[in-house]
Amino acid sequence: MFLTISTTGTPERPATDLGFLLHKHPDNAQAFSTSYGKAHVLYPEAGVDRCTAALLLEVDAVALVRRGKGRGGAPDAALAQYVNDRPYAASSLLAVALSAVFSSAMRGVCAAKPELPAQQRPLRIEVPALPARGGAGLVRALFEPLGWTVSAEPVPLDAEFPQWGDSRYVSLVLESESLTVAEALRHLYVLLPVLDDAKHYWVSSDEVDKLLRAGEGWLSDHPEQKLITSRYLSRRWSLTRQAMERLELVRLAEADDSAVEEIDNAVDAEAETEERPTPLAVLRREAILTALTQAGAARVLDLGCGQGQLVQALLKEPRFTEIVGVDVSVRALTIASRRLKLDRMGERQASRVRLVQGSLAYTDARLKGYDAAVLSEVIEHLDLPRLPALEYAVFGSARPRTVVVTTPNVEYNVRWESLPAGHVRHGDHRFEWTREEFRGWAAAVAERHGYDVGFVPVGPDDPEVGPPTQMAVFTLGGATEKEAKAA
């Protein structure tokens, strides 16, 4: 499978600048190993007037299967794992090769000639065999809004037998005068897999980050944003929703118009048709609300509140009279504040809630004197050596009567379909604990600071590996509380 990128030039702006932009010298043919086979970059032509770079990917179908991407499926699918269009058609594999081979170019970096990446130049991209689920019409709908002139010719199934009709592949030619090479590469990186609509690797939450990075500057106002997002993320509704929400926030940051909830609801409504269990995040919030209610807490800290989903749920319950969300990330707090519509809240509601920036690795006088503190999916974001500092700040210094801590149960990871073996659930998790490790830590913390601790499973409690989320509820012991007051 291959694609070519061509540009034209003048003596002042030679076409061979393409070599600088792609960080690949036009005189050399270079090969790169990727996990799916070998990628070659070569220049069929390289002159001042016209220069063409070709990316050719030799897919190793056996390596593809060995990497475990053929897991599951019907027995008769076994052959299809080896014999399929992967080696010939421009698919998500080509997109992965693009990002591997042209990563600096995609980011628009060129140390040798820093002025080049920002320049728009005449570009022509050819992809001779592009699987186009959705047909030539969709190909146009995806590329035209981005400034491309599109030609997408259906490829006949067999030129010798026109009566067989067309294949599902098109021969694609894109032309533009108004784009940079980095933009062009980022369009391809996202839209090739979208047209392929059959991602070859497990989609995890960092795919959302990749999509948003590659989509920066064009995806947030693309008319087909929803289709692009959903297909790119292999129709995983929770990730799609996350991406749509973040894209919407990008747009909001520019337009300052609040439609986050509408987007949420729109994606939700679509998801209703799928059969799906209650999302774990919802179960977690319900479990936390139950624990706080049982503890009779009214004034609550949400430590590491992130984008404010729990704060929002707490606000809906009048029993919680004071809610403070704390996070180290200003960005998270900005999103939380938009979610809560803090600036448009009535005075009464507003008096119940506050968002403050702070780090849990330091003691903080503002956190003293609350009934309860929640650490929902937070401890695993700290490097293990920082954990004693958090422990002291919360249990030693702030010392609320109740502390609720949730964290992933790593044993359960084998039950996540989408998680490759040995991976954590989120790129930023510094550790994930077994039930025994978590209980060991919690018991030691309780002991050191005079709390009692109990454990509650969250999500389906699997007989072998336990629940997906583990929750500990700490309660300040009576005697210690008096000692603490006396001290």
User: In terms of CB distance, is 52 or 406 closer to ligand SAH?
Assistant: 406
Q: Sort residue 165 into left (φ over 0), alpha (ψ -120 to 50) or beta.
A: left
Q: Sort residue 220 into left (φ over 0), alpha (ψ -120 to 50) or beta.
A: alpha
Cα(240)–Cα(234) distance, rounded to whole angstroms? 9
Q: Are 56 and 83 in contact (CB under 8 A)?
A: no
Least Å distance, CB 399 to ligand SAH, is 17
Count of positions (residues) in the chain: 487
One of 60, 183, 248, 327 touching ligand SAH (CB under 6 A): 327
3-class SS letters over 417-467: CCCCCCCCCCCCCCCCECHHHHHHHHHHHHHHHCEEEEEEEECCCECCCEC
Fill in the amino acid letter for 239: L
User: In terms of CB distance, is 240 or 309 closer to ligand SAH?
Assistant: 309
Q: Are 407 and 438 in contact (CB under 8 A)?
A: yes
Least Å distance, CB 378 to ligand SAH, is 4
One of 312, 376, 402, 409 touching ligand SAH (CB under 6 A): 376
Which phi and psi angles does 106 have, rounded to 5°?
-65, -35
Cα(279)–Cα(101) distance, rounded to whole angstroms? 37
Cα(248)–Cα(243) distance, rounded to whole angstroms? 8
Task: Give the closest residue to 123 by CA, choosing from 28, 228, 3.
Answer: 3
User: In terms of CB distance, is 104 or 205 closer to ligand SAH?
Assistant: 205
One of 377, 391, 411, 432 touching ligand SAH (CB under 6 A): 377
Cα(283)–Cα(459) distance, rounded to whole angstroms? 6
328 part of the interface to ligand SAH, by CB under 6 A:
yes
One of 381, 399, 425, 449 touching ligand SAH (CB under 6 A): 381
Stretch that binds ligand SAH, among 84-92, 168-176, 251-259, 378-386 (CB under 6 A): 378-386
User: In terms of CB distance, is 199 or 425 closer to ligand SAH?
Assistant: 425
Which phi and psi angles does 381 have, rounded to 5°?
-90, -5
Stretch that binds ligand SAH, among 18-26, 203-211, 324-332, 443-451 (CB under 6 A): 324-332
Least Å distance, CB 261 to ligand SAH, is 18
User: In terms of CB distance, is 214 or 404 closer to ligand SAH?
Assistant: 404
Question: With b meaning 16 or more CB within 10 Å and e meaning fewer, what string describes 426-446?
Answer: eeebebbbebebbeebbeebb
Cα(237)–Cα(270) distance, rounded to whole angstroms? 9
104 part of the interface to ligand SAH, by CB under 6 A:
no
User: In terms of CB distance, is 56 or 419 closer to ligand SAH?
Assistant: 419
Least Å distance, CB 390 to ligand SAH, is 7
DSSP-derived secondary structure letter, 102: T
User: In terms of CB distance, is 327 or 411 closer to ligand SAH?
Assistant: 327
Secondary structure (3-state) at 124: strand
17 sits in which H/E element: helix 17-22
Using CB under 6 A as the binding criterion, the count of chain residues that bind ligand SAH stands at 16
Least Å distance, CB 391 to ligand SAH, is 12
329 part of the interface to ligand SAH, by CB under 6 A:
yes
Least Å distance, CB 60 to ligand SAH, is 38
User: In terms of CB distance, is 96 or 360 closer to ligand SAH?
Assistant: 360
User: In terms of CB distance, is 290 or 359 closer to ligand SAH?
Assistant: 359
In 67-149, which residue ranges form alpha helices assigned H by DSSP?
A: 77-82, 92-101, 103-107, 135-143
Least Å distance, CB 421 to ligand SAH, is 24
Fill in the amino acid letter for 129: A
User: In terms of CB distance, is 386 or 415 closer to ligand SAH?
Assistant: 386
One of 361, 424, 453, 456 touching ligand SAH (CB under 6 A): 361
305 part of the interface to ligand SAH, by CB under 6 A:
yes
432 part of the interface to ligand SAH, by CB under 6 A:
no
Least Å distance, CB 429 to ligand SAH, is 9
> How many Cβ atoms sit within 10 Å of the Cβ of residue 81?
16
Residue nearest to ligand SAH (CB): 306
Least Å distance, CB 343 to ligand SAH, is 21
Fill in the amino acid letter for 420: P
User: In terms of CB distance, is 96 or 390 closer to ligand SAH?
Assistant: 390
One of 139, 360, 458, 473 touching ligand SAH (CB under 6 A): 360
304 part of the interface to ligand SAH, by CB under 6 A:
yes
Least Å distance, CB 268 to ligand SAH, is 18
List CB contacts of 197: < 8 A, sequence separation 6 or more.
Answer: 131, 133, 134, 231
Least Å distance, CB 425 to ligand SAH, is 11
Least Å distance, CB 384 to ligand SAH, is 13
382 part of the interface to ligand SAH, by CB under 6 A:
yes
Binding residues vs ligand SAH (CB under 6 A): 304-306, 309, 327-329, 332, 359-361, 376-378, 381-382
